[in-house]
Amino acid sequence: MFIQYSMTPDPVTIGADMPVIEAAAMLRKKRFRHLPVVDGDGRLLAMLTDRDLRSACPSTVLSLEEREQVLEKVKATSISEIMSTDFVALQPTSTLDDALLLFQTHNIGALPVIDDQGRVIGIFSLNDMMTAYRRLFGLGEKGSVLVAIEDADDQAALGSLVNALERKNVFFTRLVRVPGQGREPDIVYLRVNTMNIRAVHRIVEDAGFTIHVPSIQP
Amino acid sequence: MTINKRITVITDPKYNLHDTGGGEHPEIPERLQIINGRLTSGHLAGMVDFASPRPATRSELMAFHPESWLFRFEEAVLSGRTYIDHPDNQIGFESFEIATLSAGAGLCGIDLIEQDGLQGERIIFCSTRPPGHHAEPTRPFGFCFLNNCVLAARYWQQRYGRRRLCVLDFDAHHGNGIQTAFEEDGEVLYISIHEHPSFSYPGTGWAEEHGLGPGKGKILNIPLAPGSNDAGVLAALDGPVRSLLEQFRPEAFVIAAGFDAHLLDDMSGLAYSSELYGKIGARLAVWSKEFCCGRLVSILEGGYHLPVLADCVENYLSGLLLTKP
Same domain, A161 and A83: no
Cβ <8 Å between B203 and A198: no
Beta bridge partners of B192: B169, B221
Q: What is the pLDDT of residues B112-149, one digit of tens each?
A: 999 988 766 889 999 999 999 999 999 999 999 999 99
Q: Is the pLDDT of residue B324 over 80?
A: no
List B residues 89-148 in contact with A (Cβ-Cβ < 8 A).
134, 141-143
Same domain, A15 and A67: yes
Please state, in angstroms and rounded to a whole number, the distance separating the CA atoms of residues B190 and A72.
55
User: From A214, which residue of chain B is nearest by alpha-carbon distance?
Assistant: B226
The pLDDT of residue B2: 45
Cβ <8 Å between A140 and B88: no
Residue B135 forms part of a structural domain? yes
Last residue of a domain, one of A103, A135, A167: A135
Same domain, A78 and A177: no
Phi, psi of A194 (to 5 degrees): -160, 150
Same domain, A169 and A195: yes
The pLDDT of residue A76: 72
- At B213 the three-state DSSP class reads helix
- At B112 the three-state DSSP class reads helix
Same domain, A38 and A97: yes
Q: What is the pLDDT of residues B224-279, one digit of tens each?
A: 999 999 999 999 999 999 999 999 999 999 999 999 999 999 999 999 999 999 99
Residue A217 forms part of a structural domain? no
The total number of structural domains that make up chain A: 2
What CATH number has the domain bearing residue B110? 3.40.800.20
Same domain, A58 and A154: no
DSSP for residue A78: B
Same domain, A121 and A153: no
Last residue of a domain, one of A102, A135, A168: A135
The total number of structural domains that make up chain B: 1
The pLDDT of residue A215: 62
The DSSP result for B149-207, as a single string, is HHHHHHHHHHHH---SEEEEE-SSS--HHHHHHHTT-TTEEEEEEEE-TTTSTTS---T
Q: Is the pLDDT of residue B157 over 80?
A: yes
The pLDDT of residue B58: 98
* Residue range of the domain that includes B46: 7-320
What CATH number has the domain bearing residue A79? 3.10.580.10
Same domain, A7 and A108: yes
Residues of A in contact with B173 (CB under 8 A): 195
Please state, in angstroms and rounded to a whole number, the distance separating the CA atoms of residues B221 and A204.
30
Same domain, A187 and A126: no
* Residue range of the domain that includes A54: 3-135
How confident is chain A (218 residues) per 10-residue block, as mean pLDDT? 90 91 86 91 92 76 80 79 87 92 90 95 94 88 91 82 91 91 89 93 91 68
Residue B183 forms part of a structural domain? yes
Residue A165 forms part of a structural domain? yes
Residue B128 forms part of a structural domain? yes
- Sort A156 into a burial class: Cβ within 10 Å, 0-12 / 13-18 / 19+: exposed
> Which residues of A lie inside 8 Å of B (Cβ-Cβ)?
140-146, 169, 171, 193-199, 201-202, 213-214, 216-218
Residue A88 forms part of a structural domain? yes
Residue B2 forms part of a structural domain? no
The pLDDT of residue A137: 87
Answer for the pair B126, B10: CB distance below 8 angstroms, yes or no. Answer: yes
What CATH number has the domain bearing residue A168? 3.30.70.260
Those residues whose C-beta lies under 8 Å from the C-beta of residue B32, and which sit 6 or more positions away, are: B11, B15, B16, B127, B128, B129, B300
Which residue type is seen at A23? A
Residue B1 forms part of a structural domain? no
The pLDDT of residue B323: 64
Q: What is the pLDDT of residues B166-180, one digit of tens each?
A: 999 999 999 999 999
User: From A192, which residue of chain B is nearest by alpha-carbon distance?
Assistant: B201
Same domain, A114 and A207: no
Answer for the pair B126, B101: CB distance below 8 angstroms, yes or no. Answer: no
Same domain, A49 and A131: yes
**How many helices (DSSP H) and strands (DSSP E) are in chain A?**
8, 10
Strands annotated E in B196-309: 219-224, 252-257, 296-300
Answer for the pair B205, B179: CB distance below 8 angstroms, yes or no. Answer: yes
Inter-CA distances, A209 with A201, B174, B205, B266, B289, Å: 9, 28, 29, 17, 50
